[in-house]
A = this chain, B = another copy of it.
Amino acid sequence: MGPLLSDRSRDILEAIIEEHIATAEPVGSKAITQRPSIGLSSASVRNVMSELEDSGFLTSPHTSAGRIPTDKGYRYYVDSVLKVNRLNRQQKTQIEAHYRNRGLQMGDLLRETSRTLSAMAHYTGLVMIPRIKSTVFRHIEFVKLSSRKILAVFVTQSGLVQNRLIEHDEDLSHHDLEQITNYLNQTMAGLSIREAQALILSQMAKEKALYDHLLQRAFRLSQVALDDATGGDVIIEGTSHLFEQPEFNDLERMKRIFQTFEQKRALINLLDLGLQAKGVRVLIGSETEHSEISGCSLITSAYYGKAGTLGTLGILGPSRMPYSSIIPIVDYTASLISRMLEDDSE
């Protein structure tokens, strides 16, 4: 896909984009001629640039200011031109160093991953916390906080801890809770949450007939505890890096971006899109269909545990981003923590 361009047009588009990525300035025809790979005069380059503008790959801020890539331009570049670097030994070591010497539990591991991404890329790091539904049951516990309030604490195979407060209209004794806990832990051991939920529903129908009071309670509690209503959260780190980018010199724009960070909803939706995709996914500018972060690109990849896809992680930065070096960072980090999460649950 992507419209076909002549070799020459492609080379010049590549040169313009790379120059723009390096300088953050609109690039003129003269700058291009100075590249060894282009053996043309500035006049010829101008002709090509004019064509590229007509077909929507470039745009000019004003008449006499050189040209900058459009989202379409970046898209073509990423899809058809870009050659992704491989990480060198040193970079890999640098990433791995973030995880050395610590027994990190799931939550901390994900936070550290977001930090790693942000530190390596000098942009903002994003890590989506796994949806409960995509995890495997390990352990559940009901702790009685007061006569009406029960805290359900729930641990997944990969060590993610979730908890939910349940208001119960009936006073269950410690002993009752213990029995419920034991029963549920035995019954649901090793099930995926999806399976567990199905089991609960079918059992609830049955138990109504059997009229076993305690079991009824057990299933009702576990149903609430495993309910996924809270729906996803995302860990954002390294937001201050955005201040370093000249394209974010605009306070109004920064405000909108940070509002988006705070609401998280929109980010979660964007990250969700990457759940199914294989490998690294690049969303450029308006493709995010979220005007609040226009001018930004999002590089994401899914990460996995033993039970399959857990979530996505990625980097948010300006569209003017050195894709060739950012993409492998996301790729390597995703596969690294996937490996860690798979090993973990042995």
Contacts and interface: CB of A to CB of B under 8 A. Distances in A.
Interface in A179-208: none
Contact of A240 (B155, B167, B262): B262
Given A255-B240, A262-B237, A262-B238, A161 B155 contact: no
B159 A141 contact: no
A146 interface: yes
Interface in A98-131: 103-105, 107
A210 interface: no
A143 interface: yes
Contacts of A145: 138, 157, 159, 344-345
A215 interface: no
Q: How many copies of the polypeptide does the oligomer hold?
A: 2
A289 B139 CA distance: 46
Contact of A153 (B141, B237, B251, B346): B141
A164 B105 contact: yes
A254 interface: yes
18 contacts: A107-B163, A139-B141, A139-B143, A145-B344, A146-B344, A147-B346, A149-B344, A151-B155, A151-B161, A237-B262, A239-B262, A240-B255, A240-B261, A240-B262, A243-B251, A243-B252, A243-B258, A249-B251
B161 A163 contact: yes
Nearest to A102: B165
Contacts of A255: 240, 243-244
Contact of A146 (B141, B262, B346): B346
Nearest to A105: B165
A332 to B, nearest CB: 23
Interface string A154-186: 010101010111110000000000000000000
